[in-house]
Structures are given as C-alpha cells and as structure tokens.
Structure 1
C-alpha cells in the first residue's frame, strides 16, 4: 500500500464525536486512562492474564522491564477500530493484540496516549519500551527502530451511500477528498494521484486534511468531501459505524505490514515480541484479538522482525 511514510491512519471516537459523526464504539478489550487523550502520559496498567507467561521470553526483555514487571507502550488512540478512546477507556484491535503479547511476556502494559508523530521519538528516547499504533513498516522507520510485523492492511476509499457523485478512485481528478494528515494516504497516495492528474491536464484533487480521521469521516458524512481514503480496517469500520451514510468504493490496494515498534538496540526484546506473537497465533489469542474488530482479513501467519519492505 502507499507505505505510511510519516504516518498511521486514524479514527478518534469520543463521546462528542459519536453525536457528530454517528459512530458507536464497539468491541472488547480495554484499559482505563488516568491521563488525557492529547499528549497523555499516565495510564493504568493492563494486567497480564495469570499463568500464560513464557519465562524464556520474560528473560529477553530489558532489565528495567523485568524489574518493574511493566512494559511502557505508546499509542495514539485516534484510529478506530485499531486504537481509540471511548470516554476514558482505550480499546481496539491493536490494544487486544498487545495485551495478548504482554501476557506471554509475563508483564503488565502501561499505555500512554500521545500524538502519533511523537511515538517514534518516544521509543528512541526511552519514554516508551514499545509502541503500537498501526505503524506501517517502512525502510525509513527501520533505520530508527526495530519493527515486528503483526498485521497487514491496505488502503480503501469511502464515499456517501449509493455513491451519488459517481466517484471513481482511479479517476478522482477535480474531486474533493478528505484524509487524515500525516498518513500514507495524505503523504504518498494523494500526491501521486494529483501529479497524475496535472500531467494529464486534469484539475488536481482538492484535498481536505484533518488532524483526526474522525473529522475526515465527518467531512464525507456532511457532504463537504465527496470521498475519503483510509487504511482498509479503518475504512470498513467507519462505514459500519455510520450506518447507512457511507459505503466502500473500489478494492483494497497496496497492502503493507503493520509493526510493533521497539528500540533499535533492543534486538532481544524485539525477538521476544515476535515469538510471543507466534505463540498467541498458535493458542488462538491472536485470532481472538482480531475477530471482534473485523480484522481477521489482515491476519498474518509469520511475525518477522524488520521484514524486507520497499
């Protein structure tokens, strides 16, 4: 997929947004936050289920994590169904996957909700032991950190129900399209499409960029944009949660892997997470984390550290 260059993909679900966009949050697996949803720092921990730890994996974690029994994980909870806030509760597919991994590692998870752009520097600066936030694995990111593949996602377009404007994702020149700022769709996909439009003598796509996917979704619901682009699981979830107001357009394309982010020096910890993912795939916990969120189509069978990507 257009590899998420400096970004992720996002849908923030808050109480106010539920009314504005017509979304209703659903699913299982959550952790209450004691901090806010902005630059957030403090959270409550998610206890690992009793009796499921693999001591060999625990021993591969940094000594500070072994001593505290807590894995500090950064996320940007604005990307339903992958990670989002419902009131003061953080939940989502990625959160359920990370909690299942932590159970195998024998630690609790302490989540910090922060801006997406701050997460990589939070990991490299030792603010977090890891980060999970729908990060596409890219060569640029692999220069800074280790990334452990755990999922595969593509890009999909969303339009108003019935596609009254006749939007064709392959010929959207001159159309108004909404997108979350900093995503692959914003930074790679749409610029390439705009260049193709101008090269063909057609008008550019008019891009409405928003800090949150919630606002990008609302722009289509309210008619300010004719279409939007988002990661495939996010697009599908937005359609589901807005009832009969939106529908998917075209096929999923440019699939690419998501990765859990670990500091570059912590190769043993990255391998421990990879092995933990393989173990939860074997015992069914991985499937159980994906299915409630409709994420099973992006499941992977291998969980490599730093897979080759282009």
Structure 2
C-alpha cells in the first residue's frame, strides 16, 4: 500500500553480527512472537498480563471480540529499530512503539499479541479483521484515513542517511542515477519514486531504487555500500547512525514531519476514541514519557492525541 510522499510509516540483518549487537544493546518488553512468524503475520503469542491501573470506563469501550479474548491482536513489522524490532532471541518484540502500546493496553486491562507482518500488509489485515489494530509507525495520511481510523500518538519526519563524508555526493533533491535504498510500502517509497520521475521528466537518469520489505535490509545495503544512501523515518535513521558508529551519517535535515497513528478499523470508532483517552491517561501517569525516554526519542512526543487529525 503506497500512500503519499509524506513519510512512513512517515519504515538491522546488516551483517548478522552487527544486527545482533544492535538488538542486544536494546532491551525491553517481553512480547514474544512464535518462532518462524517473522514474515507472514500468521503466528502470535501472548504478552504477559498488563501492569498498572486498569481504567474500567475504558475497558468497557473495548470491542466485544477483544473483551472476549482478553487480548489485542496487533499487526506489526518488527524490522524498524528502535520503534519496533525483534530482540536477540529472534521472537521478542521490543522498542519504544511496543513499550508505549503496552502502557496503553494496560489501561484496558488486556494483554497484547504481536503478530509479525510485512509493513504494507498490515492495513489490509486490520481492514479484514485479521488484526485488531496496527502499531507500526504508520504516518497519518489522507489516503490511509480514507481506509481506516488513525489515532495520533507521535510525530516524526523523513531523514536521509549515507556513508561518512557522502562519498557518492548524494543530493536528496537530485539523486538521479544514484542507488537509493527504501522500504517497500512506505511513503518514503512514494517520495523517492516521485523524485525519480522528476529526474526522467527532466531527461536525466532515473533514481536506481533498491527496495526491501524490511528496513533492516535497506540499512544493510547502505552499510555494505550497495546503496549510496537511504531515506527512512527520522528516529530510524538516527538510531541506525548510532548503532553503526562511524559507518553512517545523516544527510540534510528532517523534512515532511507528520504524526504516527494507530490503525483501527473504520467500524471501530468508539474503540479508536477510547485509545485517544488511554493515551491521555498514559501521558498523565508518566508511562507515555517513560517509554519515549527509555529509547531517547522524546523529541517526537505529542500531547494533542486525536482521532483522524
């Protein structure tokens, strides 16, 4: 699903050793995925029961399906460190996005089942009822709001990343003929596709787009030199630079800032509004800020949580 040039999701197996190091450095949560479920989104396993104070008024607003099951099934693409990723055990979902949603789910008194999926299949999964909600750094766009409800909870922009010193002399506004990595299904994919069209319309070579289903593969291409640069959400780009010390650097400034949103079925407006209230409650009790601070992403925190802003 490719929507608008605003940013992903605005969306590391760099070398196996490098990614293992990156994941080991980050530890949180205990939301396990079933082995072998890292691509198809067909396997889930329950996270431990919620902690914190349950808001009975919010719990009463849960859809009947979730009340009956006692859990929220979440579609997630765990290749997007530090937002959502797999821990070194290969099955535990961690990251600030997961930490935050766990705090939100605690307000409802339910557990969370994280179900792995390709990013561009999550909205379809929510719409079909496969998932109760999508939590995977989705940027809120008009195209997405036309299909599902979206609840804002964070704000990020697009950032370009390249090798130190920018050896390929990449200009984000004129990358004609360059090898550029991007995750499939993201609005960054639309962004670079539009830039490539501008190149060909001007009689210049098209951008050589190197797409991957997972952001980890995109980052690996830049680290190895296969790609000259990549574009991704700002927290992801900055995290990759930190994890691969001395091998990557940012290129230019963050642009096209927009809010992230939880993806909720169009038919579940009451649930979506309850998520807004749960986010407000998490902000009030400090769990919202704690989740962001733990991962160093406080700069994108918001207070104006809303349905379909």
- Same fold per superposition (TM over 0.5): yes
- Secondary structure class of the residue paired with 2:22: coil
Deviation at 1:21, TM superposition (A): 5.7
For the Cα contact (< 8 Å) 2:157–2:258, is it kept in 1? yes
- Separation of aligned partners in 2, 1:225 and 1:64: 45
In 1, the alpha carbon distance for the partners of 2:198 and 2:51 equals 55
Aligned to 2:211: 209
Contact 2:31 2:112 in 1 (8 A): no
1:147 to 130, 146, 150: 150
Moved more, 89-98 or 36-45: 36-45
C-alpha deviation, 1:184, in angstroms:
1.1
Q: What SS does the aligned partner of 1:41 have?
A: coil
How far the C-alpha of 1:64 sits from its partner, in A, is 2.5
> How many residues get paired?
301
TM-score by length of 1: 0.90
Residue 186 (structure 1) aligned to one of 186, 189, 202: 189
List alignment gaps of at least 5 residues for structure 2. none
Aligned residue for 1:179, secondary structure, equals strand
SS in 2 for 1:24: helix
3-state SS in 2 of match to 1:52: coil
Structure 1 residues 181 and 23: alpha-carbon distance in aligned structure 2, compared to 1, 3 A threshold: farther
Spell out, residue by residue over 1:169-202, the C-alpha distance to the aligned partner (whole angstroms, 9 max, x if none). 2332222211112211112x11221233234443
> What per-residue deviation string (whole Å, max 9, x for no partner) do you get for residues 10-68 of structure 1?
4xx46x85326675111422312224212133333223444411100000111222233
Residue pair 1:135, 1:259 contacting (<8 A) in 2 also: yes
Counterpart check, 1:101 vs 2:99: no
- Alpha-carbon separation, structure 2, partners of 1:22 and 1:197: 38
Q: Which stretches in structure 1 are left out of the alignment for 5+ residues?
A: none
CA-to-aligned-CA distance 1:283-302 (integer Å, 9 cap, x gap): 11111111222221111111
Residue number in structure 2 paired with 1:255: 257
- Aligned partner of 2:230 in structure 1 is 228
* Superposition pairs of residues 9-20 of structure 1, within 5 angstroms: 10=11, 13=12, 17-19=15-17
The residue correspondences of 1:157-306 to structure 2 (distance < 5 A) are 157-187=160-190, 189-306=191-308
